[in-house]
């Protein structure tokens, strides 16, 4: 038995005492568990146990495909199935998930819990929009199905509900057919944040997938300069005939000492990344893994941020806040000089059906922040700005947000808590994050 | 290849059965729990892009189920090319020492009943002119070792049986493949701290399938365990007495 001193952490590598319990039998595993965990790619404390509990139920061994209808694309699988495996099996057959986040190392259960969004959000919304039903174990021990028709309150609260409404056992959703396993990509260099926001909007009208990486360190006229990428699955006539070989992966072998990622080196990286894209516009066929999952190429890339770990800050700024909102957020970063690698920026479509789903119509900004002495203050400053703009944060990334800030961002919280109280009156289901942000009992 | 598979619902068996289904082998599943067999059959069906494999109840604690289950496999597949056994019990040495009933159960299932199952499988394969019998033993059976005295003893007996079977029947067309996995991260070992060189079930599955195809009599998996066990086998007794592994 692993001893009592074992620790568990999110992708940001800030540990708490705890351990994962695994079993192929998810129905049994979920009995009495306070929280399910998938592949642990949420950055903060979403998949960590509350302080008085040591164990989380890890679903990854429950990864069976249970049904697939090649006529309709309807697929049902156990919650621990990874997106990596799904892609390996279905891309060669001409199918892809309707929504993918930026990593393949997530489970279906995790995709529901965070209601993940991707480069296609402006067209297809979040993953939850494509989920037709789920089998769940709820707090009183019952196993039941929920959907838009059956227990719709539970269904909608579970989509984006960070695992706090029940244990997802099975997920049914619709895959989408693709014309080839290759991506046709167009990318361009954009001079500053305002031009960037406009360019994103233009691209969104033409392309099903858009995303951009910006330099969030350069102040002044270069602020928010970056690379905008757009793409779509390539038509067979332009795609290579062969199936794309799996991309080789390298491993980050050790933690980097924290001085490596100082302001100078990060600034140099950002500048190099920007100017690597020398021609203003580039087009061509690219590998689906490079397009959707560039960071998956480096195993354990989270070691890059050193011993103290890191967090990711992701917020959405509503359209009503105007295009200056993104600039106002970036100003906080450049003023404080928080060393971050590339910052990812993306436009979002309308809010989806998930009761606590993150995206809403506007612009999403995401950036990594290595943990330093002043990280709490930086996150506070960003959150205060985001509240002013009428935006909100993404729970799957969060470690440092204060409960009062979260409440100020989330008028939906009351309704969510109501549904939780109905399905879990004793407040059994909870996480380190829900203790921190929602005031659940430790 | 037509394969009767005992143990496809979990761990290394699940990974191996998936590889087989994905490359187009026809499977028939044997196991204890109908609901689990149903789900695993569905999984293998989707992966293989065809119909879900059939299944029958077969419980290593109940030898009377062995013959009928294998007959059901022969009927469903229209003949057998291979029988694979990955099922078995596991318990730590501590758990076994404190529970005589559990010890008896484990020794019975992992040795006596597994051998009885193999006898039934052997008869059916030989009757059809041969084939492959692939059985998961363990590196725990290589040497008497403190942390796996009882579990290791059952696996030592099983390995010896399988070696004898291979010697006797290879000329008749029956190839016996003994798989000796080292520590592999599965549900069975989820409560243990993984040692260095702990492997993944997918890695084991790839190696076992290659060995099965070429009829290798013994395969260590993951690959590092071959040389490790070579060293352990060669250690003098007085060294083994002192070390903890």
Share of chain A above pLDDT 70, in %: 98
pTM, rounded to two decimals: 0.95
* Cβ-contact A337, A212 below 8 angstroms: no
Residue A338 pLDDT grade (very low, low, confident, very high; cuts 50, 70, 90): low
Q: Do B11 and A24 touch (CB under 8 A)?
A: yes
**pLDDT tens digit sequence for A223-277:** 888 999 999 999 999 999 999 988 888 888 888 887 777 777 777 877 887 888 8
The residue of chain A nearest to residue B201, with distances taken between CA atoms, is A61
* Minimum distance, in Å, between the CA of residue A171 and any CA atom of chain B: 14
Average pLDDT over residues A371-392: 95
pLDDT class of A3 with cuts at 50, 70, 90: very low
**Residue A81 domain flag:** no
In a domain, A204, yes or no: yes
Which residues, 6 or more positions from B177, have their beta carbon under 8 angstroms from its beta carbon? Answer: B132, B133, B134, B135, B208, B211, B212, B215, B216, B217, B218, B219
Q: Distance between CA A312 and CA A341 in Å, rounded?
A: 11
Cα of B46 to nearest chain A Cα, Å: 6
- Residue closest to B142 by CA, chosen among B235, B239, B16, B211: B235
> CA nearest B23 in A: which residue?
A89
Which site among B18, B40, B46, B195 would you substitute to test the A interface, given the most A Cβ atoms closer than 10 Å to its Cβ? B46
Q: B residues 118-147 near A, CB within 8 Å?
A: none
A415 found inside a domain: no
And the tokens for B82? 């291979």
Cα dist from A322 to A261, A315, A328, A388, whole Å: 33, 15, 11, 12
**CA distance, residue B220 to nearest chain A CA (Å):** 23
Subunit contact A22:B190, Cβ cutoff 8 A: yes
Q: Of B143, B152, B160, B168, which Cα lies nearest the Cα of B235?
A: B143
Does residue A168 form part of some domain?
A: no
Quick one: DSSP state of residue B235? S
What per-residue confidence (pLDDT) applies to B245? 80
According to DSSP, residue B59 is labeled B
Note whether B190 contacts A93, CB cutoff 8 Å.
no
Residue pointed to by tokens 């003098």: B236
Tell me if ipTM is over 0.90.
yes
Q: Is the pLDDT of residue A339 over 70?
A: no
Please judge whether B187 and A61 are an interchain contact, meaning their C-beta atoms are less than 8 angstroms apart.
yes
Rg (CA), chain A: 21
Interchain CB contact of B9 with A (< 8 Å): yes
Q: What angle do CA A27, B69, B41 make, to 5 degrees?
A: 40
Q: Distance between CA A75 and CA A328 in Å, rounded?
A: 43
Residue A299 confidence class, pLDDT cut points 50, 70, 90: confident
Whether residues A66 and B42 touch (CB distance < 8 A) is answered with yes
Structure confidence by residue, pLDDT tens digits, A69-123 = 999 999 999 999 999 999 999 999 999 999 999 999 999 999 999 999 999 999 9
Contact residues, chain A, for B36 at CB < 8 Å: 25
Q: Is residue A375 part of a domain?
A: yes
A:74-113 residues touching chain B, CB 8 A cutoff: 78, 89, 93
The pLDDT of residue A252 is 84
CB within 8 Å: B47 and A78:
no
Task: Kindly state whether residue A362 falls inside one of the protein's structural domains.
Answer: yes
CA distance A278 to chain B (A): 42
Question: CATH code at A318?
Answer: 3.40.462.10
**Is residue A383 a part of any domain in this protein?**
yes
Least Cα distance to A326 among A365, A370, A274, A379 occurs for A365
Shortest alpha-carbon distance between residue A14 and chain B (Å): 21
**pLDDT (tens digit, 9 = 90+) per residue, A110-163?**
999 999 999 999 999 999 999 999 999 999 999 999 999 999 999 999 999 999
Chain B CA closest to residue A170: B39
Averages of pLDDT over runs of 10 residues in chain B (245 residues) are 98 98 98 96 96 97 98 97 97 97 98 98 97 97 95 98 98 98 90 86 96 97 92 93 86
> Domain range spanning residue A258?
182-402
Q: Could you say which of A21, A22, A66 has the minimum Cβ distance to residue B39?
A: A66
Chain B residues within an 8 Å CB radius of A64: 39-40, 42-43
| 3-state DSSP assignment of residue B33 | coil
Task: Lowest mean pLDDT of A94-98, A336-340, A397-401, name the range.
Answer: A336-340
Q: B34 contacts in A (CB within 8 Å)?
A: none
Surface of A (27-66) touching B: CB under 8 A: 61, 64-66
- What is the domain count for chain A? 1
Does A170 lie at the interface with B, CB-CB under 8 angstroms?
A: no
Calpha distance A398→B242 (Å, rounded): 50
């Amino acid at each position: 038995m692993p001893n009592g001193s074992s620790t568990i952490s999110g992708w940001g590598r800030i540990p708490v005492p705890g351990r994962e319990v695994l079993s192929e039998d998810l129905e049994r595993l979920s009995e009495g568990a306070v929280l399910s965990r998938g592949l642990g790619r949420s950055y903060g404390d979403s998949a960590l146990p509350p302080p008085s509990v040591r164990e989380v139920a890890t679903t990854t061994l429950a990864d069976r495909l249970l049904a697939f209808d090649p006529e309709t694309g309807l697929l049902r699988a156990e919650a621990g199935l990874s997106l990596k495996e799904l892609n390996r099996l279905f891309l060669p057959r001409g199918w892809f998930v309707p929504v993918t986040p930026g990593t393949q190392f997530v489970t279906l259960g995790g995709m529901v819990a965070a209601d993940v969004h991707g480069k296609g959000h402006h067209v297809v919304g979040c993953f939850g929009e494509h989920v037709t039903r789920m089998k769940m174990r709820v707090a009183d021990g019952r196993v039941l199905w929920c959907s838009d028709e059956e227990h719709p309150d539970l269904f909608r609260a579970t989509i984006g509900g960070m695992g706090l409404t029940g244990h997802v056992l099975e997920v049914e959703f619709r895959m989408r057919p693709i014309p080839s396993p290759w991506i046709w990509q167009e990318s361009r260099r954009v001079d500053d944040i305002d031009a960037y926001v406009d360019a994103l909007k233009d691209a969104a009208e033409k392309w099903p997938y858009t995303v951009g990486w910006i330099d969030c360190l350069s102040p002044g006229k270069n602020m928010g300069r970056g690379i905008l990428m757009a793409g779509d699955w390539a038509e067979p006539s332009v795609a290579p005939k062969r199936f794309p070989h799996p991309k080789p992966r390298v491993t980050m072998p050790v933690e980097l000492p924290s001085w490596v990622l100082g302001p100078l080196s990060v600034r140099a990286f950002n500048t190099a990344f920007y100017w690597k894209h020398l021609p203003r516009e580039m087009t061509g066929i690219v590998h689906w893994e490079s397009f959707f999952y560039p960071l998956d190429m480096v195993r354990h890339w989270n070691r890059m941020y050193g011993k103290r770990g890191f967090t990711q800050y992701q917020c959405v700024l509503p359209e009503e806040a105007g295009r200056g909102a993104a600039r106002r957020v970036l100003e906080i970063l450049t003023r404080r000089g928080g060393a971050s690698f590339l910052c990812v920026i993306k436009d979002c479509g309308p809010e989806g059906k998930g009761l606590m789903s993150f995206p809403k119509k506007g612009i999403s900004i995401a950036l990594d922040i290595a943990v330093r002495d002043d990280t709490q203050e930086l996150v506070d400053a960003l959150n205060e700005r985001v509240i002013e703009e009428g935006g909100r944060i993404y729970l799957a990334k969060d470690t440092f947000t204060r409960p009062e800030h979260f409440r100020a961002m989330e008028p939906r919280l009351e309704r969510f808590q109501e549904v939780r109280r109905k399905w879990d009156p004793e407040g059994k289901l909870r996480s380190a994050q829900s203790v921190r942000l929602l005031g659940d009992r430790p | 290849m037509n394969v009767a598979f005992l143990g496809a619902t979990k761990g290394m068996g699940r990974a191996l059965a998936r590889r087989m289904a994905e490359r187009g082998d026809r499977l028939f599943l044997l196991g204890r729990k109908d609901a689990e067999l149903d789900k695993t059959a569905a999984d293998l069906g989707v992966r293989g892009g065809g119909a879900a494999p059939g299944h029958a109840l077969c419980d290593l604690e109940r030898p009377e189920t062995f013959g009928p289950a294998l007959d059901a496999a022969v009927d469903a597949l229209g003949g057998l090319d291979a029988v694979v056994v990955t099922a078995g019990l596991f318990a730590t040495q501590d758990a076994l020492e404190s529970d005589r009933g559990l010890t008896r159960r484990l020794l019975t299932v992992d040795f006596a009943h597994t051998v009885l199952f193999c006898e039934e499988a052997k008869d059916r394969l030989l009757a059809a002119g041969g084939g492959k019998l692939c059985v998961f033993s363990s590196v725990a059976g290589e040497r008497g070792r403190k942390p796996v005295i009882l579990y290791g003893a059952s696996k030592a007996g099983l390995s010896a049986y399988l070696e004898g079977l291979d010697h006797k029947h290879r000329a008749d067309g029956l190839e016996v493949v003994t798989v000796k996995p080292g520590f592999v991260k599965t549900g069975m070992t989820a409560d243990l701290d993984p040692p260095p060189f702990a492997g993944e079930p997918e890695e084991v599955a790839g190696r076992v399938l290659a060995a099965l195809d070429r009829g290798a009599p013994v395969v260590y998996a993951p690959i590092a365990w071959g040389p490790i066990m070579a060293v352990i086998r060669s250690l003098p007794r007085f060294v083994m007495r002192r070390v903890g592994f």
